[in-house]
């Protein structure tokens, strides 16, 4: 029988299966993204100290199967891990659900993802302790994108390399290039652009350098800055995240 492993993990998604089982997708600290089945979890709680539902932060014990993609989840314990208590605030729940879905979309099974796990854990912790709305969504997006290899340079033009900060003119975020274009380089281009006024450029530069913790007191992103990142993420993922629509209904202009 394969040996059991234990790792810290955050539940991204869970659904009931059959009469007593649960199928769970988690972002683990040591084993990347994992999908597993917890047999009998809905009838016997003994081995599952923390319920396996979205946002649960657990020490996950599991065994690999010889074939198939689901691991066997054998235990889920709280240990010393912080619980993410979102309370009854629907705005926090909506933003948290979006963070879980973005994390799932940007990570892969079988790939190292300790950085993504740590970012998500820190972002959920900040979310629990901060007042919505603020710039946490955008700071989290920028850090997760950078972790996944889609870092954006907000200080230089993608076209000619000029210093964006010195120019007062309108620049554009080029969605399918993942960067800014100066006034000269964007001329004549219409599609795939979000025009940015100077305050939005300065805010994006600031948000890109901000810690997750500090984002809890940062004012919400401007509509232009927010739209740029939403459209860039849809471009990278080649789809819209389902939780984004719910989030935007719950917190307009986020
Ligand atoms: Zn340029």
Residue corresponding to tokens 């932060």: 57
Query: What is the whole-number distance in angstroms between the Cα of residue 61 and the centre of ligand 1?
Result: 52
pLDDT for 59 equals 95
Q: Distance, CA 181 to ligand 1 centroid (Å)? A: 5
The candidate with the shortest Cα–Cα distance to 234, out of 224, 246, 222, 243, is 243
The confidence score (pLDDT) of residue 254 equals 86
Ligand 1 center from residue 159 Cα (angstroms): 4
CA 154 to ligand 1 center in whole angstroms: 12
Task: Provide the 10 A C-beta neighbour count for residue 93.
Answer: 19
d(CA 17, CA 24): 10
Residue 201 Cα to ligand 1 midpoint, Å, equals 15
pLDDT score at 48: 76
* Domains of the chain, residue spans: 4-77, 87-254
Instruction: Return the number of other C-beta atoms located less than 10 Å from residue 233's C-beta.
Output: 21
Q: What is the CATH number of domain 4-77?
A: 2.40.50.140
Q: Of 107, 135, 111, 113, which is closest to residue 123 (Cα–Cα)? A: 135
Which residues in the chain come in under a pLDDT of 70? 1-2, 45, 166-168
Q: Which of 235, 147, 223, 242 is nearest to 191 (CA)?
A: 235
CATH superfamily, with its number, for domain 87-254: Recombination protein O, C-terminal domain (1.20.1440.120)
**Neighbouring C-beta atoms of residue 50, cutoff 10 Å:** 18
Q: pLDDT at position 168, please?
A: 61
pLDDT tens figures, 107-120: 998 888 999 999 99
């Amino acid at each position: 029988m394969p040996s059991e492993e234990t790792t810290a993990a955050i539940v991204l998604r869970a659904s009931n299966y059959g009469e007593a089982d649960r199928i769970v997708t988690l972002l683990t600290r040591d084993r990347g993204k994992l999908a597993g089945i917890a047999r009998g979890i809905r009838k016997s709680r003994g081995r599952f100290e923390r319920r396996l539902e979205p946002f649960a932060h657990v020490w996950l014990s599991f065994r690999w199967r010889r074939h198939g993609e689901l691991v066997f989840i054998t235990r889920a314990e709280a240990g010393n891990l912080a619980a993410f208590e979102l309370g009854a605030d629907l705005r926090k729940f909506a933003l948290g659900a979006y963070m879980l879905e973005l994390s799932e979309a940007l990570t892969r099974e079988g790939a190292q993802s300790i950085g993504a796990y740590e970012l998500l854990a820190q972002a959920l912790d900040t979310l629990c302790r901060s007042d919505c709305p603020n710039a946490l969504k955008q700071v989290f997006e920028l850090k997760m994108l950078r972790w996944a290899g889609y870092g954006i340079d907000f200080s230089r033009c993608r076209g000619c390399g000029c210093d964006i900060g010195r120019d007062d003119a309108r620049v554009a975020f080029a969605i399918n290039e993942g960067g800014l274009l100066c006034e000269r380089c964007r001329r004549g281009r219409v599609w795939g652009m979000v025009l940015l006024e100077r305050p939005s450029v300065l805010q994006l530069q600031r948000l890109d350098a901000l810690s997750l913790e500090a984002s809890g007191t940062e004012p919400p992103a401007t509509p232009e800055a927010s739209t740029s990142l939403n459209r860039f993420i849809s471009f990278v993922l080649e789809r819209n995240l389902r939780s984004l629509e719910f989030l935007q209904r719950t917190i307009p202009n986020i």
